[in-house]
Amino acid sequence: MSTVSKTAGAVVLAGAGVLAWSLVEARSYTVRQLTAPVLPPGTKPVRILHFSDLHVTPTQQGKLEWISSLAAFRPDLVVDTGDNLAHEDAVPAVLDALEPLLEFPGVFVHGSNDYYGPRAKNPLKYLRAPTKVREGSRPLDHEALTRGLTGGGWLDLNNARGELEIQGHRLSFAGLDDPHLNRDVLPEASEDQGDLRIGVVHAPYVRALDALHADGAEIILAGHTHGGQVCVPGYGALVTNCDLDTERAKGLHGWPGARPDMPGGEDSAWLHVSAGVGTSPYTPVRLACRPEATLLTLMPRQA
């Protein structure tokens, strides 16, 4: 066998190995645990379970069972930042999986895949520009999803505000409908700001983060990016599917500058971007970016 043939064979085997692992990793669910010192000194912590981008199809039994199991963490608050659906018949499966979590206070916004079903597309398009909903995309029953979540007691924050009493704190929320579909409209300002102001949005476009920061949000929760989904080990995400920089594709950061607990970050909000739980059914892979939910504990600032 020639050297060229051996090299080509090795490349094919390596590619097959990477593909096989990326299929396994897409089902290797994990829970990240992070803390953010954002509450007034001397007050009780607040444990937030933040998840995003479930992208559920009705037959994904393993994923659905894992979502339900998150209730074992018994969070003080659940935040769902959208893209729950990936199939026109997925609403009942999503609501069944989330039923144990509806026991806890929660808030939600929608993403583009709560409005329209996914379609097969060339994955290389993600490297050029954010994706767009194409003509002919199947509409999904986001209204049934909304009824199910609000019927369970969660607050609908799509271009809306809300308040909850959690662990002795009065939390004020401002939410945006999905910027990826240009549905985001900042809700009318409220003079009653509460003890902590939280912004919630699906896609972390710069204009959306800037709007929530200017509105007074001290911490912003988002999803959409899938953490890059297919990342380069040791380097990170190549894309975010929006205009957010790739260094903030997932995890806890500051917006617009450094984190508030770092020098120069005094005027920034905290920003948590979830790497998400699912993928499009047409690209069911993840590499160096495990599917995740986050248990984000809001801690008191030092006096």
Taking the C-alpha atoms of residue 260 and residue 273, their distance in angstroms, rounded to an integer, is 16
274 pLDDT exceeds 90?
Answer: yes
155 near 107, Cβ under 8 Å?
yes
Q: What is the pLDDT of residues 125-147, one digit of tens each?
A: 666 678 877 656 899 999 999 99
- Mean pLDDT over each residue of the chain, to the nearest integer: 91
Class of domain 3-300: alpha beta
Q: What is the pLDDT of residues 161-192, one digit of tens each?
A: 999 999 999 999 999 999 999 999 999 988 77
Taking the C-alpha atoms of residue 139 and residue 181, their distance in angstroms, rounded to an integer, is 13
Q: What is the pLDDT of residues 77-96, one digit of tens each?
A: 999 999 999 999 999 999 99
pTM above threshold 0.85 = yes
| More confident: 25 or 120 | 25
274 near 108, Cβ under 8 Å?
no
Q: What is the pLDDT of residues 192-227, one digit of tens each?
A: 778 999 999 999 999 999 999 999 999 999 999 999
Domain range annotation of the chain = 3-300
Taking the C-alpha atoms of residue 267 and residue 218, their distance in angstroms, rounded to an integer, is 10
